[in-house]
Chains A and B, each alone.
Chain A
């Protein structure tokens, strides 16, 4: 059962335009969401996160939007640059009781973003 889904395996965007990567989740216990960027043969790099008490978080060119009622989040990159070409993973963390000690992240399958010059 895939609790975090990234339904688009790939996305191609023109340089300078906006890239929008989407992620859906099914578990209503998720209360913290993260986006990671991954280049081939490297470990994922943390990009941006959002808590369920917010609906938007912005960091430079990156903005994450959370729609709790739809159980949907998206990552916007604007303007897109060639160096943004990578695989993007969304991840979610469940709040288990009152403790965050388990901190288990559940990852989506990833979306390969290609920025075309």
Chain B
């Protein structure tokens, strides 16, 4: 089955630790995205990547880092510099030149 997978579903970390969220897609999509959702708010773009080995900052990139070494993978690292890391993180992908993005199931990160 084609789709986007995110792991783990729930993640707990201590304050001050870096943590990496996984996102994999087998849809052969070129573009991949990371969003963050907080209660009562819409999705806010953290980083996006249109091709391998290239990525751009979104609206709230501070405290986050990404890599795109393979077309199918776009991991997100939440660093200790991120002031409010507890949130629901969503990964998405799309075909280049198409606007519809398809989302993974999300990872809920809780920093204790």
Contacts and interface: CB of A to CB of B under 8 A. Distances in A.
Interface of A: 4, 6, 9, 32, 34, 36, 41-46, 49, 89, 91, 93, 100-105, 107-110
B1 interface: no
A115 B93 CA distance: 30
Given A103-B96, A107-B42, 12 more contacts: A34-B100, A41-B88, A43-B103, A43-B105, A89-B42, A100-B99, A101-B96, A102-B56, A103-B98, A103-B99, A107-B44, A109-B40
23 contacts: A32-B99, A43-B4, A43-B105, A43-B106, A44-B103, A49-B99, A89-B42, A101-B96, A102-B48, A103-B31, A103-B94, A103-B98, A104-B45, A104-B48, A105-B45, A105-B99, A105-B101, A107-B35, A108-B42, A109-B40, A109-B42, A110-B40, A110-B42
Interface in B59-112: 88, 90, 92, 94, 96-106, 108
B50 interface: yes
Contacts, number: 69
Nearest to B100: A46
B103 A34 contact: no
Interface of B: 4, 6, 9, 31, 35, 40-45, 48, 50, 56, 58, 88, 90, 92, 94, 96-106, 108
A82 B96 CA distance: 35
Nearest to B101: A105
Contacts of B92: 43
B48 A109 contact: no
Interface of A is mostly: loop
A36 B99 CA distance: 13
Given A44-B90, A104-B45, A109-B40, A34 B99 contact: yes
